[in-house]
A and B are shown apart, each in its own frame.
Chain A
Amino acid sequence: MAASVLTRFCINKSKGSIRFIQRRYRVKTKWAATRPTFPATELALHNFDTSYSIQLRDLWPSIRVAMLSEQKYGALINSFSSAPNVITELEAQGCKDFISIDCTRNEVHQSSLDSMTSHRDSAELDPAALQPSMSPDIKCLVFPKGDISRFNPARPDSSGILGYYLLDAASVLPVLALDVQPGHTVLDLCAAPGGKTLALLQTHSVNHLWANDLSGSRTMRLRRTLQSYLPKEFLEENKIHITSTDGRQLGMTEEKSFERVLVDVPCTTDRHSAMVEENNIFKRSRTKERQKLPLLQTQLLLAGIQATRGGGNIVYSTCSLSQLQNECVVQKAISLAQRELGITVQVQDLRWFAQCFSDTFHFAPQLSVGELVLPHLCANFGPIYMCKLQRMN
């Protein structure tokens, strides 16, 4: 049959430049003359369909379509910028700081609850005091539910510092949950490319920040990000220490040194793997690497636990939906820490946290441990998993 091939299904011929490149990067879209027969994105989706349809059941189709659609971003406000009207300009476009809105709504709700219970049990502790706190002063603006507007790229102010950082708004949640208080020393075990690191610095409560990432090139990127967002004086203060080593070593070398540790481990980056072919972790050549991920994640979390002082908090976060990389890793790390290292770690309940932000994000119902932000077309953030732990001894 005379089937005219639609131009949209064809590939443009490669530009044909010969270069010496690492094996891992050899087949790039713009140089490939033909497509791979099974693109890694397809393999990734197949993998997700098999495992998540069982794990998430009825929720999976909505998550799937959201992950395959354009992601929604949030603008993390850079308080180091001297530009006066960053927030008002953004708000004029229709977005709002979800953190302050959700928190004030929650406080109102909480105080109404307080007034109801206070005359009943005056002997009990004031519920407001029991309400856990979160890292202060972070502002992240998002467009309302169902609104698909995009942010314009941030513009530099008079000193070349950018006004905001565009990231998945759900990425801010682990930083909020970490509850950084003034004077704390913080370790960010897998810091690159730097969104969460930047959010940590926005709290203005960090006494000293150690940002580490295994990959040298990604550490460079982290440095560049910080240079675009922080004034030179701040960078020169030696408050920030950037290293490029294996995070698992830091557990031993920096034992009990930090009040707060953020462990944002490498994972299968579900959303990214379903959409972007380049260097996809579901490529056949990276199968071993992918299968060893849960082990690596457990080791990193253990290192993070080791590096925490007694009474300190650890937040473990990934951007995958997989139970094997989320709950299983946390539970394994907790039991290993107890058995092998004699460290007692307690899971901190984040249900109040999920309830607080349930207007902006879709949370998965009833996880065994931790909270999971699910992508949904009306609120296309995530997937982000987070779990808060406290070291007891």
Chain B
Amino acid sequence: MYSTEQHLLPPSISQIVRWMWRWSVCPVAVSRGYMPFCSTQQKPHQANPSPISQVTHRPGNQLTLCSLLKMGFSETQAKEMHEGATKSRGKHVHSVLTALLLLGLNPSSILKIMQKCPEVYSLKGADLQQRIDHLRKMGLVEGVSLSVPLFPGSLQRMISRYPKVMLLPVKRVNMVSRLLREKCLFTIHQATDILRDSPEVLEQDLSKLEYKFQYAYFRMGVRQPEMVKAKLFRLSLSELRCRHCFLEQRGLYQTPDKKGQTLILNPPLKDILCVSEETYLVQVAMADADEFHVFRKLMAREQEEEGREDEYSSDEELEEDKDDDEDDDGLHRRKRHWNTGYKKDRK
């Protein structure tokens, strides 16, 4: 089965571009930085009808190794793809792959995506195309000048980095985008940047997303442009809280007052979040790793206990004989005594 196709080389990028032009499938895709090398290479006709036309003539049909090879996969890649497709029992793998190719992803990237996220096999081609179009409408395509060679656009980058985004319905993407724009007051441009840099936000619980934003806005006094620059949404809330509270309790970070003023100069958010833990400890917090690890353990326990207390919220009376002035030793308070209303306000 392979013998007849052995002489065919995998199609170059230029060929794909020409196929797309010829079949007028996706004019927009062309503008995304795919250099038309084709001006130097002329291959006016194919011996057989273009593989793409073959594919489009047989929508949703059984995926053959032959068609995979025609799409540009190597033999090993094609075998792996075929295996994955049959395992998932997806019925529209052809159209899915077409859509991905149209996006301008090369065969090895596509294989990587399928390995990372095998659920993509089970998608419908039309759904996928709709989602990709929607993301594109949201501005996830950067207009790149043709003079920049092979600059993969933001859409390809996002999908390669985070293939799960293809599994999400358009409605979900819309909800997240609306939250960012309407409740968090990011500009459209900023919202696009967030989706591009941290596509994980699309899968997060909306209230948790909002809470994280509010934590940064009110508790840390950070504004939207800084949040985008620091890729705030890439970090989990617990890690954000940990790094911030560690600095705050060391006296190196202060929540700005009503007028936005602080007594000290707060380190910029990207210096706190975008660096490795070692760099953060050495340059920003100026502390030992042991100290930070103990702090993290303490915070984790505190969060866990707060979570449990919210569950069993009670208005137990605290012990009456709270004559604790100048009480330096002795533990006869219950653990709940720690949970005075001011505990959260530690600076």
What is the bound-complex CA distance between A221 and B347, given in angstroms?
Answer: 32
Q: List residues of chain A with CB within 8 A of the CB of B331.
A: 73, 151, 153, 166-167
Binds A, one of B54-62, B66-74, B80-88, B336-344: B336-344
CB distance B298 to A69 under 8 Å? yes
Binds A, one of B12-20, B108-116, B283-291: B283-291
What is the bound-complex CA distance between A272 and B328, given in angstroms?
Answer: 7
Secondary structure at the A interface, as helix, strand, loop or mixed, is loop
Residue of B nearest to A213 (CB): B326
Given contacts A70-B298, A269-B327, A377-B291, contact A64 B185 (CB under 8 A): no
Q: List residues of chain A with CB within 8 A of the CB of B211.
A: 6
CB distance A70 to B294 under 8 Å? no
Task: Name the interface residues of B257-289: CB closer than 8 Å to any CB of A.
Answer: 286-287
What is the bound-complex CA distance between A277 and B339, given in angstroms?
Answer: 12
Decide yes or no whether A238 CB sits under 8 A from chain B: no
Decide yes or no whether B44 CB sits under 8 A from chain A: no
CB distance B315 to A168 under 8 Å? no
Decide yes or no whether B136 CB sits under 8 A from chain A: no
Decide yes or no whether B5 CB sits under 8 A from chain A: no
Decide yes or no whether A252 CB sits under 8 A from chain B: no
What is the bound-complex CA distance between A30 and B322, given in angstroms?
Answer: 12
Decide yes or no whether A195 CB sits under 8 A from chain B: yes
Query: What is the interface size of chain A, counting residues whose CB is below 8 A from a CB of the partner?
Result: 65
Chain A min CB distance to B59 (Å): 47
Binds B, one of A7-15, A94-102, A107-115: A7-15
CB distance A64 to B251 under 8 Å? yes
CB distance A319 to B328 under 8 Å? yes
Scoring B residues 240 to 252 as 1 if CB is less than 8 Å from chain A, else 0, what string do you get?
A: 0000001001111
Task: Name the interface residues of B315-347: CB closer than 8 Å to any CB of A.
Answer: 315, 317-318, 321-331, 335, 338, 340-347
Q: List residues of chain B with CB within 8 A of the CB of A49.
A: 251
What is the bound-complex CA distance between A384 and B335, given in angstroms?
Answer: 23
Chain B min CB distance to A76 (Å): 9
Q: List residues of chain A with CB within 8 A of the CB of B89.
A: none
CB distance B328 to A65 under 8 Å? no
Residue of A nearest to B211 (CB): A6
Decide yes or no whether A156 CB sits under 8 A from chain B: no
What is the bound-complex CA distance between A243 and B340, given in angstroms?
Answer: 33
- Name the contact of B214 in the complex, choosing from A6, A61, A193, A376 (C-beta under 8 A): A6
What is the bound-complex CA distance between A151 and B326, given in angstroms?
Answer: 22
Task: Name the interface residues of A110-152: CB closer than 8 Å to any CB of B.
Answer: 146, 148, 150-151
CB distance A278 to B324 under 8 Å? yes
- Name the contact of A168 in the complex, choosing from B183, B218, B317, B329 (C-beta under 8 A): B329
Q: List residues of chain B with CB within 8 A of the CB of A221.
A: 321, 323
What is the bound-complex CA distance between A4 and B183, given in angstroms?
Answer: 9
- 28 pairs across A/B with beta carbons < 8 Å? A2-B183, A6-B214, A8-B344, A29-B340, A30-B318, A35-B342, A42-B345, A61-B251, A62-B291, A64-B249, A65-B295, A68-B346, A146-B293, A148-B294, A148-B298, A166-B331, A168-B329, A195-B330, A196-B329, A215-B323, A269-B326, A269-B328, A272-B324, A276-B340, A277-B340, A279-B322, A377-B298, A378-B294
